[in-house]
Amino acid sequence: MKPIVQISLDLTNIDEALETAAMALRAGVDWLEAGTPLILAEGLHGVRKLREAFPNIPIVADLKTMDGGYLEAEMMAKAGATHVVVMARAHEETIKVVVQAGRDHNVKVMGDNLGCPDMIAGAKFLEDLGCDFVIHHIGYDERRGIAARGERMPSPLDQLREVVNSVNIPVQAVGGLTLEQAIACPQYGAPLVVLGAPLTIDADAFKTADGDLENSLRLICTAIHAHGNVSK
pTM above 0.75, yes or no: yes
Q: Quick one: which H or E segment has residue 74? A: helix 69-79
Omega of the bond prior to 154 within 30 degrees of 0, cis? no
pLDDT tens-digit series, residues 89-99: 999 999 999 99
- Whether the CB-CB separation of 81 and 55 falls below 8 Å is answered with no
Side chain identity at 111, as an amino acid letter? Answer: G
Residues 90 and 81: their CA atoms lie apart, in Å, by: 21
pLDDT tens-digit series, residues 18-73: 999 999 999 999 999 999 999 999 999 999 999 999 999 999 999 999 999 999 99
Strand, coil or helix: 223: helix
Q: Which fold has domain 4-225?
A: TIM Barrel (3.20.20)
pLDDT score for 215: 85
From the list 94, 99, 124, 122, the residue with the least C-alpha distance to 110 is: 99
- Whether the CB-CB separation of 29 and 59 falls below 8 Å is answered with no
pLDDT score for 179: 80
Angle between helices 69-79 and 44-53 (to 10 degrees): 30
Strand, coil or helix: 128: helix
pLDDT score for 207: 43
Which residues of the chain fall short of a pLDDT of 70?
A: 197-211, 232
Domain ranges of the chain: 4-225
